[in-house]
């Protein structure tokens, strides 16, 4: 699957992923009002508003970006109707030829991770029928439980040609609280990175592995060190834009071939119309504002490659 991701990145000349992380506050009022009129101020109403918002953005940007990353928490907050829109969003993005990275950060003991792997990347057997459930192309995974929590994901990656991104160093301010603790001089995030490299060797797909990792944009120094430990693993980089990372910071995350990393922006793209820079588009032009924000971001990222 990473081979396909790379093809799409090259085709669109954009090592960029759009984070589809809708909170209701980002959804233009006129869309919310219409949805609430039809479904009431209910979870269904909220989910419908999110769906219309997503659809507008996807239609406006699908020809520019290789991939999208819906953050499941933003859908889960709206309960079952929210999860239904998470699935609808995945299906619609795949119809549009986009690679879908489910940002789910799942991870548990072996048998439970197997259920997550099945539900998000594989198919569950019902009677004698194989039924795919969410069917993302990639998902993000939490490593806290160690190898036997990761192995079921590796199995599915190989069986179904799917991929995962394992959390190594996250972009939030307190990520260092545990991740930076040093064990015989080696920080935890580096111990995890070494394991990611090891796990990844069994899941090669061309010159990169289907096992990638997540490293926040806000640590260019760490990015450089980790790039060396993980030469064949794609880095999914959150934290660009709204969270403070700049294009200049991102150079160390890429390999010499200009590949090896894909940079996410969520708020910066989907809520672009709320920024002063894109104010002229107004609420009605929210999708066009997102399109312009993608164009600007791709230009910014490519300027360092």
Q: Which of residues 65-124 bind its own copies (CB under 8 A)?
A: 71, 73-74, 76-80, 82-84, 87, 105-113, 115-116, 118-120, 124
What does the alpha-carbon distance between residue 147 and residue 193 come to, in Å, rounded to a whole number? 13
Contact residue for its own copies among 8, 55, 59, 191 (CB under 8 A): 191
Q: Is 182 in the site for its own copies (CB under 8 A)?
A: yes
Residues that bind its own copies (rule: CB under 8 A) add up to a total of 72
Q: Is 30 in the site for its own copies (CB under 8 A)?
A: no
What does the alpha-carbon distance between residue 227 and residue 222 come to, in Å, rounded to a whole number? 8
3-state secondary structure of 3: helix
Give the residue from 55, 22, 51 showing the smallest Cα distance to 35. 51
**Helix runs in the chain, H state only:** 2-12, 29-39, 43-61, 73-76, 79-95, 110-121, 147-160, 176-179, 188-201, 220-229, 247-250, 267-270, 286-302
Contact residue for its own copies among 11, 63, 95, 144 (CB under 8 A): 144
Residue from 105, 162, 181, 251 carrying the catalytic annotation: 105
Q: Is 137 in the site for its own copies (CB under 8 A)?
A: no
Q: Which of residues 212-241 bind its own copies (CB under 8 A)?
A: 238
Nearer to its own copies (CB atom), residue 40 or residue 206: 40
Residue 105 known to be catalytic: yes
**Helix runs in 203-285, H state only:** 220-229, 247-250, 267-270
Nearer to its own copies (CB atom), residue 203 or residue 259: 203
Contact residue for its own copies among 89, 171, 218, 265 (CB under 8 A): 171
- Catalytically active residues are 105
């Amino acid at each position: 699957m990473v081979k396909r991701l790379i093809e799409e990145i090259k085709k669109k000349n954009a090592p960029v992923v759009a984070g589809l992380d809708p909170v209701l506050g980002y959804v233009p009022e006129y869309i919310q009002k219409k949805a609430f009129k039809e479904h009431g101020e209910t979870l269904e109403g909220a989910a419908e508003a999110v769906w219309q918002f997503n659809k507008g953005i996807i239609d406006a940007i699908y020809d520019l970006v290789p991939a999208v990353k819906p953050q499941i928490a933003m859908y889960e907050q709206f309960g079952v109707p929210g999860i239904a829109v998470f699935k609808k969003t995945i299906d619609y993005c795949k119809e549009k030829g986009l690679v879908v990275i489910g940002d789910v950060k799942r991870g548990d003991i072996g048998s439970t991770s197997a259920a997550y792997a099945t539900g998000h990347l594989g198919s569950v057997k019902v009677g004698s029928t194989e039924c795919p459930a969410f069917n993302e192309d990639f998902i993000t995974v939490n490593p806290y439980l160690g190898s036997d929590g990761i192995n079921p994901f590796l199995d599915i990656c190989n069986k179904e040609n799917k991929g995962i991104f394992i959390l190594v160093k996250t972009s939030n301010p307190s990520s260092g609280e545990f991740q930076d603790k040093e064990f015989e001089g080696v920080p935890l995030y580096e111990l995890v990175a070494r394991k990611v490299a090891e796990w990844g060797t069994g899941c090669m797909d061309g010159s990169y592995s289907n096992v990638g990792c997540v490293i926040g944009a806000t640590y260019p120094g760490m990015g450089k060190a980790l790039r060396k430990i993980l030469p064949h693993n794609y880095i999914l980089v959150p934290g660009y834009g709204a969270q403070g990372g700049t294009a200049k910071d991102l150079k160390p995350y890429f390999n010499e071939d200009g590949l090896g990393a894909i940079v996410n922006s969520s708020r910066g793209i989907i809520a672009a119309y709320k920024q002063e820079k894109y104010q002229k588009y107004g609420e009605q032009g929210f999708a066009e504002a997102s399109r312009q924000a993608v164009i600007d971001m791709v230009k910014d990222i490519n300027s360092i490659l």
